[in-house]
Amino acid sequence: MIPFTEIIWDLVTWTPFLAGGFAMNILISLVAMTIGTSLGWIIANMRLATSPRTYRASLYLTEITRNIPTFVFLFYLAFMLPGEFTVPFTASIVGFPSWLKASLALSIAVIGFCSDNLSPAIREWRKGDHGVALLFIPSWTSYALIIVMASSTASVIGVSELVSRCNTVINATGKTQIMLPVYLYACVFFVGFCYPLNILMKHLKSVIGRRLRETAYRGTPSVSSISGG
């Protein structure tokens, strides 16, 4: 049995490596949120359009993005998109990193979320009800946290993020005893990052709510169209 202190020391030694992996999770999530929010914003606007054809199209698009399982889509993109591509009209070849494929896969879920939540927010904003529209911000952030957790699935296509780096550490040290501690340590990263932000968003939400002197219950952001994984 390896002494407790040795395991702690191992974890400390590998902390920069693991933290780098978590930074990758954040990067994947931020890119996914950016792409997803931009496209979701377009669809949300389509939902408010007066043209019935545009409106119907927006509903179909939202329905599709809601139903695509991101985990399978991740595999789909990993297999179907090339590892590198030639930039059109130039001769330069650009690599298509796996982490970007992961971001793209996750952004599908973000599109659905934004379409559902942005369109009422935009409507309120246009009515001049800016306060209610602002409620979108805490919902968006809570959703981003779900995406951070879902970004761990990128490990299955070999992206070197936190969960995948846990497996690397286990293989590199070759110690069976480190398996449980290293995974628990990874949990600390996720809980340590998500929990405070979640509390903060709840607080922000109640502050906005109080400002609006809302009497009717509005509830937290509904459990969104992604599994968190």
Q: Which stretch binds another protein (CB under 8 A): 6-14, 16-24, 49-57, 158-166?
A: 158-166
Give the span between the Cα atoms of 145 and 195, in whole angstroms. 9
DSSP string, 127-172: HT-HHHHHTHHHHHHHHHHHHHHHGGGGGGGT--SHHHHHHHHHHH
Q: Which stretch binds another protein (CB under 8 A): 42-50, 69-77, 128-136, 200-208?
A: 69-77
Residue 225 interacts with another protein (CB under 8 A)?
A: yes
Count of CA atoms in the C-beta half-sphere (13 A) of 7: 16
Which of residues 157, 204, 212, 214 is near another protein by CB under 8 A? 157
Q: Which stretch binds another protein (CB under 8 A): 43-51, 128-136, 152-160, 204-212?
A: 152-160
Give the span between the Cα atoms of 121 and 66, in whole angstroms. 19
Residue 26 interacts with another protein (CB under 8 A)?
A: no
CB 28 within 8 A of CB 159: yes
Residue 52 interacts with another protein (CB under 8 A)?
A: no
Which of residues 11, 27, 42, 68 is near another protein by CB under 8 A? 68
- Residue among 4, 14, 6, 35 nearest 170 (CA): 14
Residue 224 interacts with another protein (CB under 8 A)?
A: yes
CA distances from 93 to 31, 79, 158, 222 (A): 22, 19, 22, 43
CB 27 within 8 A of CB 99: yes
Residue 78 interacts with another protein (CB under 8 A)?
A: yes
Q: Within positions 191 to 220, which residues make up the interface with another protein, using CB under 8 A?
A: 191, 194-195, 198, 217, 219-220
Give the span between the Cα atoms of 21 and 27, in whole angstroms. 10
Which of residues 69, 123, 125, 141 is near another protein by CB under 8 A? 69
Which of residues 133, 166, 169, 208 is near another protein by CB under 8 A? 166
By beta-carbon proximity to another protein, the closer residue of 22 and 136 is: 22
- Residue among 214, 27, 168 nearest 102 (CA): 27
By beta-carbon proximity to another protein, the closer residue of 191 and 200 is: 191
Residue ranges that bind another protein, judged by CB under 8 A: 67-73, 75-76, 78-80, 83, 98, 145, 149-150, 152-153, 155-160, 163-164, 166-167, 170-171, 174, 176-177, 179-184, 186-187, 190-191, 194-195, 198, 217, 219-220, 222-229
